[in-house]
Amino acid sequence: MSGGQNPPTSRITGRRQAAGLRLATAVAAFAAAIGILAPDPIGAIAGSIAVATVIAAPLLRVAWLVVRWSQEGDYRYVAIGLGLLSVIAAGAGLTVASR
């Protein structure tokens, strides 16, 4: 940048995400342990909860970042985040449609 100006600094630190990610990790670990140790049908349900948590946590994190990036006005990253979520949604939709 000319004139000695520094580029704008992002205010996204991840402090608000930390508690949610720790909770998701604990839920996934606990559900996975129950899924291994418990007999069916409880074990199968707990295993499904573990898998769903492991899949949902990063998707929710990307959605949260899209909101934060839009608040900061960084629309390039908003477009990338929405593109990623759209590709995942299209894949899930095609999976359901092909059954």
- Provide the number of structural domains found in the chain: 1
Using a 10 angstrom Cβ sphere, with 0-12 exposed, 13-18 middle and 19 or more buried, the burial of residue 81 is buried
DSSP 8-state code for residue 38: S
Q: With respect to residue 83, please indicate whether it lies within any of the assigned structural domains.
A: yes
From residue 71, give the alpha-carbon distance in Å to each of 16, 68, 75, 81: 15, 5, 9, 14
Q: With respect to residue 10, please indicate whether it lies within any of the assigned structural domains.
A: no
Which of 45, 59, 60, 50 lies closest to 25, judged by CA? 50
Residue range of the domain that includes 23: 17-97
Q: With respect to residue 11, please indicate whether it lies within any of the assigned structural domains.
A: no
Q: With respect to residue 76, please indicate whether it lies within any of the assigned structural domains.
A: yes
Look at residue 24 in the predicted model and tell me its pLDDT.
95
- pTM of the predicted model, to two decimals? 0.77
Q: With respect to residue 1, please indicate whether it lies within any of the assigned structural domains.
A: no
Cα separation, 93 vs 60, in Å, equals 18
* Tens-place pLDDT, residues 40-90: 999 999 999 999 999 999 999 999 999 999 999 999 999 999 999 999 999
